[in-house]
Amino acid sequence: MDKIKTMIISGGTHGNELTGVQLIKKWTTNPELCKKRASDINLDIVLVNPSAVAVVRRYVDHDLNRSFADYMLNGAPRSLCVEWNRAQELNQMYGPKGDSTKTDLIIDIHNTESNMGVCLILSEKNAFTMRASAEIANEFSDVHIYLQPEKRTTSPYFGTIARADICVEVGPQSHGTLRASLFEKTEQVVYRYLELASEWNAGLLQQKAKKKVTVFTQHKDIDYPRDRNGNISAMIHPNLQNADYAELKPQDPLFRTFDGKDILFENDYSVWPLFINEAAYYEKKIAMSTTLKSVEEW
């Protein structure tokens, strides 16, 4: 990506993640707050799933942030599903997903109930998103980088209809609520991305020295233990609650059954869990996502 000409700042992809919903409301009323920081960029402020925002739920019919794979956007007939229709609509307006997309960069704001601070999720190793995220991870406290590489055509995330994307995932915040400290920090992180995008366009960011960053790279998701009916039969172990980004060693306690027994982590090597005990992931059969940790120069 040579220059970032078109960009989207978005929130409300999930209707009960209120940091993004409220920031988008603020910026829609006063777009200059964003535009003045990147006046060379054609910027849209987008509330991604207004139907879900209206009912303060993650989604109405289907998770919108799992609706942007190629086959969903192109193959499927228009359906009764609110989110699949909305995905096709967004893809027409801001895509189409692929080389001819109208949008260079999407920054999509999300919340998690897990203790993840501000987590910058990169869907691939893109020159701009790596450099800018490395700057931000060094400038702010409690900001982490999560690399979740996926094949772009099959990836179902909203951000993938643009040439590049960053998901800004902020917690811990219960869905349907707002935490002032997280609202204000997210706002500053997004402003900084806008400034850095403008610096990138001017060739300035490329001249800065690379920064050392800790990178958490997606490894494997772990589901809850379940009984023969598919119901969970254990909870996140108390030691793991709120311990996102901390090392989980082989034989560390992983789950606690309803009868008080510990289930250990049976593995040959350590992992670093994220999204521990996120409510929205119970239905996705994810108790936590595990990552591998590395230090890199970005």
Residue ranges in 146-165 that form contacts with a copy of itself under rule CB under 8 A: none
3-state class (DSSP) for residue 167: strand
Query: Smallest gap, in angstroms, from Cβ of residue 253 to a copy of itself?
Result: 10
12 and 24 Cβ atoms separated by less than 8 Å: yes
256 counts as binding a copy of itself under rule CB under 8 A: yes
Q: Which is nearer to a copy of itself, 179 or 211 (CB)?
A: 179
CA atoms of 177 and 159, how far apart (whole Å): 24
Phi, psi of 110 (to 5 degrees): -130, 165
Count of residues in contact with a copy of itself, rule CB under 8 A:
29
Identify which of residues 179 and 192 has a Cβ nearer to a copy of itself in the complex: 179
CB of 57 to a copy of itself, least distance (A): 9
What gap in Å lies between CA 295 and CA 298, rounded to an integer? 9
**DSSP secondary structure string for all residues of 155-171:** ---GGGGSSEEEEEEEE
Q: Which residues pair with 221 in a beta bridge?
A: 289
Q: Binding to a copy of itself by residue 179, rule CB under 8 A?
A: yes
User: Identity (one letter) of the amino acid at 272?
Assistant: W
Return d(Cα 83, Cα 52) in angstroms, integer: 9
Using the rule CB under 8 A, is 82 a contact of a copy of itself? no
Q: How far is the CB of 262 from a copy of itself (least distance, A)?
A: 10
CA distance 226 to 258: 12
Which 26-65 residues touch a copy of itself, going by CB under 8 A? Answer: 26, 56
The residue within the footprint of a copy of itself, chosen from 54, 178, 202, 204 (CB under 8 A), is: 178
Which residue lies nearer to a copy of itself by CB, 17 or 199? 17
Site for a copy of itself in 275-294 (CB under 8 A): 277-280, 282-283
CB of 235 to a copy of itself, least distance (A): 4
Query: Which tokens sit at 115?
Result: 């203790």
Residue at token pair 């994307």: 165
Residue 243 C-beta: closest distance to a copy of itself, Å: 13
> Is there binding between residue 186 and a copy of itself (CB under 8 A)?
no
Which residue, 100 or 231, is less far from a copy of itself as judged by CB?
Answer: 231
User: Does 229 contact a copy of itself by CB under 8 A?
Assistant: no
CA 33 to mean position of chain CA atoms? 23
CB half-sphere exposure, 199, CA atoms < 13 A: 16
Residue 104 and residue 4 in contact, taking contact as beta carbons nearer than 8 Å: yes
Kindly tell me which of 26 and 62 has the beta carbon lying closer to a copy of itself.
26
Residues lying near a copy of itself in the complex (CB under 8 A) are found at: 22, 26, 56, 113, 174-181, 183-184, 232, 235-238, 241, 256, 258, 260, 277-280, 282-283
